[in-house]
Structure 1
Amino acid sequence: MQRLNLNQMLSQKLSPQQIQFIKLLQVPTVELEARIEEELEINPALEEGKEEELESPTDDFQENGDTAETGDDQDINLDEYLSEEYGGYKMQGDGNYNPDEENREIPLSSGTTLHEQLISQLNFLRLDERQKVIGLQLIGSIENDGYIRRDLDAIINDLAFSQNIETDIDELEDILLKIQSFDPPGIAARNLQECLIIQLERREHREDSVVQQAIQVVQHCFDEFTKKHYDKILKKCQINEDELKEIIQLITRLNPKPGGVSDGLMRTQYLFPDFLLTENNGKFEIALNSKNAPDLRVSRSYSELFETYEKSDKKDRKLKETVTFVKQKLDAARWFIDAIKQRQQTLLKTMEAILEYQYEFFLDGDETKLRPMILKDIAEKIDMDISTVSRVANSKSIQTEFGIFPLKYFFSEGIATDGGEDVSNREVKSVLGKMVEEEDKKKPLSDDKLVKLLNKKGYNIARRTVAKYREQLQIPVARLRKEL
């Protein structure tokens, strides 16, 4: 049975202006210019130049007591917006992706993709049409890092179903061997071991004893090599420590990812800091990058056009539609200018709070002087919402005399010390990194020993936390740090 119930509820709403501000707030400087250019193209009432003092002719426009409205003026449910558009208050760590913005083309450096280069080299081989199709199938199976991880039997099935070509492992491996002779060296390998062997066999001085011994080590002692069981390698390959040192040096110079970049294309990236920090007579000064403060104004001609229409006979339907259109464009221009100004104020306010909180660090750039700081600390300091601080911190950076730092760099959790104070986990990571850097590589420090050393320095830290920080610093376990 169907029932009709009435429920009373309260919900927050975001106006189109608020949504526009939220979108602009999280756009990094490098994307802001493009966003402004886009707005200038779609809104003729917005133009570049210093703003003039104008009255708002659109505020009082009414017809029979009703203001002209469009669908864009309707409020949007806050809960729906946050769940669909933002998805939480945590800082996003995946690069500069902005879920609020529509997909845009990313400028790429000129050049060809990895697969295009390989296909070009395939065309130089004297293959018949059938072999060429098999070669193209194999190249298409190469992943962005340069490896073929798909099972050859599965590729044979693909050729049978999609290309109607019957082949076998022998023929497939024969053509694969040809592709593995292409540049870059190591391409189309099925695993790291095969990748290293291909590169070693293509060395200029392949007959050199060190190269031959390196091939032997990778072929017959690969597991021992990856685990740094050097004693077993010395015994199994019947070589001495000096020879093994040369072999290790040679192998570690090889490229474990012959495909290069992660997406098969070389991307050109430029870093534009959002803030500039300078010191003037012992006092810090924060300035926004000039690209964050564009000169925008409402078009005077559009304002005058509206004033003319507004004074004319509004009973004409077409004229009313024209007035409504002009009003929408003028309102949109003002909203956009206000959102840009509000963005500038919020950015500066947040950065000033971060500077005050991490003042000791900005004096000399010493990472150990960073204080524990989370989004909530800054949000309370500037009396704004945590989500606002998160949007500012995400994809923004500041240029200092010590280099350019992303704002997320200054946020970290605290670790308790024997003195009862909290220190930034970045300080602990810095100390941990120095310990590993200064350790005896013949007897590297285990996680247990690192814990004891950190505890002696007054840092109350557990073994699992040390292991987590070590992994974040991309420091391998003690066994893999061992050297001869």
Structure 2
Amino acid sequence: MLKQTLQQKLLQKLSPQQIQFIKLLQVPTVSLDARIKEELEENPALEDGSLTNMSEPAEEYPDRDPDDTFEMEERATDDEFSVEEYIQEDDFNDYSSSYSGDDEDDRKEIPVAIQDSFYENLRNQLDLLALSDKLYQIGLQIIGSLDDDGYLRRPIHSLIDDLAFSQNVIAEEEDVLEILQVVQEFDPAGVGARDLQECLLIQLRKKDTTNPIIQKAVIVIEKYLEEFIKKHYDKIEKQLGVDSVELREIFGEILKLNPKPGDSGAVAGKQLHVIPDFHISNNDGVLHLTLNGRNAPELRVSRSYQEMFAHYEKAEKNDKKMKDAVQFVKQKLDSAKWFIDAIKQRQQTLLKTMNAIMEYQYDYFLKGDDRLLKPMILKDIAERIEMDISTVSRVANSKYVQTEFGTFLLKSFFSEAIQTDSGEEVSNKEVKKILEECIANEDKRKPLADEKLTDILKEKGYSIARRTVAKYREAMNIPVARLRKEL
């Protein structure tokens, strides 16, 4: 049975403009260039103002006069003219993003050495060997199955199945193990290992095995790896019959090994660039905040599209093709205006948020001392700028600020409050700083346990539980006392 009902619903929906603004807000400066270039390529109604001002031939956009207007209208009424043809011609233009930044922010090309990838390096070594087609395919399968660390995590029987189903190669376990041993001789040393122990042993056996220190290092990895990891030095000394000086030499050889050989060929090719979104300068005790110039690109709506839309609006409305053309051009113009507005709104929100953070942590930005950081949560800044907490979170999680004492992620300035014995509220970063200093100055032969660190903090007026100390220590990637022990 069919029936009609009338209902009222209250819903919250984000407009396309709001969605576009949210996506742009969380994009850091280093990625904004690519995002703008992508939009320029997708929307011909959007132009890079700095490029068009420099590169447009004078005859394409002459001053308006009656003759030019007549010429444009005559071309527009030509039966052979269509919006599709216009866009095809427009696609040949070289759209790229340009930013108007400070002189200090001029982009400089960094030469990057051309080198083979980790996989290509291993394959090149495999190609030098005189192998049958079957063994060569097995070698390729092994190399292709290595993970980013250079380990072979897949079981041998899984490799045999892969070869049978994907390469139509029937291989025995002995064949795979034989080629695996060959691959394990490749550079970088340790590649093709199935676990950490095998990886370290491969590297040690490539050294001078007649050296007594290397021989004992092999014994440590073969028989006492767990004790080595857990730093049970006394037990290893007793089992090997060596003193602390010789044990230190043995451990020194082991610590030179690479536990992740797959990274050795990739790290050199990686370049990590942190482009600050903000700059804070100190002018005689007065802080000055500026936004990176790359966040303010010279974008504009295409004048040719505006003129085209104005002409179509005056044309005959009954023509279906003309209606479609008007709708298409209008859509592109609206999209261009929305994008420009979103970029401007992004600039305003970034400056508003960062200015509130700077004012809140003014003493810290003057001197750069972590102890001057005040407890600050997202809600504190959201209330100051009268925006939602999620907006502040999007800014803080992906933006960097450059100061006179370093470049920092905005998220690092947020911290919870801890109350001292005197009743004063301080940032937990102050406690972390004290913990870091205590651990840095400890006797590495007898490192401080969490209980001892808790007692030290209590003496300084910070009543914190041992589990909280452990949480802060883990947040700073500092291992437990036993693993910090050194000979």
Higher mean C-alpha deviation, range 290-299 or range 4-13: 4-13
Q: Counterpart of 1:346?
A: 349
Q: Counterpart of 2:24?
A: 24
Answer yes or no: is 1:288 the counterpart of 2:291. Answer: yes
Q: Counterpart of 2:136?
A: 132
Q: Which amino acid aligns with 2:206?
A: R
Q: How does 1:78-477 map to 2 (within 5 A)?
A: 110-160=114-164, 162=166, 163-168=168-173, 170-203=174-207, 205-260=208-263, 266-477=269-480
Q: Retained in 2: the 8 A contact 1:144–1:262?
A: no
Over aligned residues, Cα RMSD in angstroms?
Answer: 2.6
Q: Counterpart of 1:91?
A: none
Higher share of residues assigned helix: 2
How far the C-alpha of 1:256 sits from its partner, in A, is: 0.9
- Counterparts of 1:246 and 1:454 in 2: how far apart (Å)? 36
Q: Retained in 1: the 8 A contact 2:419–2:425?
A: yes
- Counterparts of 1:5 and 1:312 in 2: how far apart (Å)? 44
SS at 1:259's partner residue? helix
Q: 1:131 to 1:303 in 2, by over 3 A?
A: closer
SS at 1:13's partner residue? coil
Q: 1:36 to 1:157 in 2, by over 3 A?
A: closer
Q: How many residues align?
A: 427
Answer yes or no: is 1:46 the counterpart of 2:49. Answer: no
Q: Which amino acid aligns with 2:154?
A: R
How far the C-alpha of 1:351 sits from its partner, in A, is: 0.2
SS at 1:47's partner residue? strand
Q: Retained in 2: the 8 A contact 1:361–1:370?
A: yes
2:483 to 475, 480, 483: 480
Q: Counterpart of 1:95?
A: none
- Counterparts of 1:156 and 1:304 in 2: how far apart (Å)? 66
- Counterparts of 1:152 and 1:238 in 2: how far apart (Å)? 38
SS at 2:261's partner residue? coil
Q: Retained in 2: the 8 A contact 1:113–1:265?
A: no
Q: Which amino acid aligns with 2:26?
A: Q
Q: TM-score, normalised by structure 2?
A: 0.81
Q: Which amino acid aligns with 1:299?
A: S
- Counterparts of 1:433 and 1:470 in 2: how far apart (Å)? 8
Q: 1:264 to 1:282 in 2, by over 3 A?
A: closer
How far the C-alpha of 1:313 sits from its partner, in A, is: 4.0
- Counterparts of 1:126 and 1:308 in 2: how far apart (Å)? 72
- Counterparts of 2:153 and 2:428 in 1: how far apart (Å)? 38
Q: Retained in 2: the 8 A contact 1:148–1:188?
A: yes
Q: For structure 2, which runs of at least 5 residues remain unmatched after alignment?
A: 54-111
What are the Cα deviations for residues 313-353 of structure 1, in whole angstroms up to 9, with x where unaligned?
A: 43444333333333222222222211111110000000000
Q: Retained in 1: the 8 A contact 2:118–2:266?
A: no
- Counterparts of 1:396 and 1:109 in 2: how far apart (Å)? 29
Q: Counterpart of 1:93?
A: none
How far the C-alpha of 1:109 sits from its partner, in A, is: 7.7
What are the Cα deviations for residues 14-71 of structure 1, in whole angstroms up to 9, with x where unaligned?
A: 222222211211111112122222222233332222799xxxxxxxxxxxxxxxxxxx
> Percent identity over the alignment?
58
Q: Which amino acid aligns with 1:31?
A: S
Q: Retained in 2: the 8 A contact 1:113–1:264?
A: no
Q: 1:40 to 1:175 in 2, by over 3 A?
A: closer
Q: Retained in 1: the 8 A contact 2:188–2:264?
A: no
Q: Which amino acid aligns with 1:347?
A: L
Q: Retained in 2: the 8 A contact 1:144–1:263?
A: no
SS at 1:455's partner residue? helix
SS at 1:279's partner residue? strand
- Counterparts of 2:204 and 2:247 in 1: how far apart (Å)? 15
How far the C-alpha of 1:263 sits from its partner, in A, is: 8.5
Q: Which amino acid aligns with 2:197?
A: Q
* Deviation >6 Å, runs of 4+: 1-4, 261-265
Q: For structure 1, which runs of at least 5 residues remain unmatched after alignment?
A: 53-107
- Counterparts of 1:306 and 1:48 in 2: how far apart (Å)? 20
What are the Cα deviations for residues 50-106 of structure 1, in whole angstroms up to 9, with x where unaligned?
A: 799xxxxxxxxxxxxxxxxxxxxxxxxxxxxxxxxxxxxxxxxxxxxxxxxxxxxxx
- Counterparts of 1:295 and 1:172 in 2: how far apart (Å)? 59
Q: TM-score, normalised by structure 1?
A: 0.82
